[in-house]
Amino acid sequence: MPRRNGKGQSRGVGEMHGSIKIIVALSAQAIGVAAIYAMRFSRFVPSPLETRVAFAAATACAIGGIALGFTQARPGAGRWLQLQWVRIPVFGLLSFGFGYLAFAAGFPAWYTAAFGHPSHQIVTVEKWRFPSRWSCAGPDIAEAPFLSTICLDYKNEQIVPVGSKLILRGAATDLGLNVETVAVP
């Protein structure tokens, strides 16, 4: 039986879409917070399965971003937002990036912090990155693609050259490992 509003009329489709818009907006905010956490604070190394799940979730986020790009921009929006041929790929790429960060190192890091058990993982140093305003110095590891999870003093480059192994210790689940300590074998 259809629900009726105060005037004796059935609730329209527009009202139903309002609750979906709220759910989408809250989901986007949660993904944004998790992505920012992943960029600034996370020391999480995802498992190979979690990396695949993160790529799938990021693809779904990108599809949502592209769909959002097809909507009409508000009249007061910036000039580049008025151009649909710019808006669609930008929204898609930003949604993919934020989605990957959120599902690769944001949400799983929180889950692992709450439900993880002590463990360790041996990883391979892929390259060293220099410190910048936005990130610390440290090795990029092959097991965590596109994530800068370990911060070490750049002087350690001679101790831990590219191709060498590191032992990461911390809380772990099937999703991955929250790095607490780093050791050289």
User: What was the pLDDT predicted at 103?
Assistant: 96
User: What was the pLDDT predicted at 168?
Assistant: 92
User: What was the pLDDT predicted at 7?
Assistant: 54
Query: How far is Cα 131 from Cα 35, in angstroms, rounded to an integer?
Result: 20
Residues 6+ apart with CB under 8 A from 182: 150, 152, 166, 167, 168, 169
User: What was the pLDDT predicted at 156?
Assistant: 66
Enter the tokens of residue 88.
Answer: 């669609």
User: What was the pLDDT predicted at 104?
Assistant: 94
Low-confidence stretches of the chain (pLDDT beneath 70): 1-16, 134, 154-158
User: What was the pLDDT predicted at 98?
Assistant: 96
pLDDT mean across residues, the chain: 84
Query: How far is Cα 30 from Cα 25, in angstroms, rounded to an integer?
Result: 9
Whether the Cβ atoms of residue 109 and residue 46 lie closer than 8 Å to each other? no
The values of phi and psi at residue 63, to 5°, are -65, -40
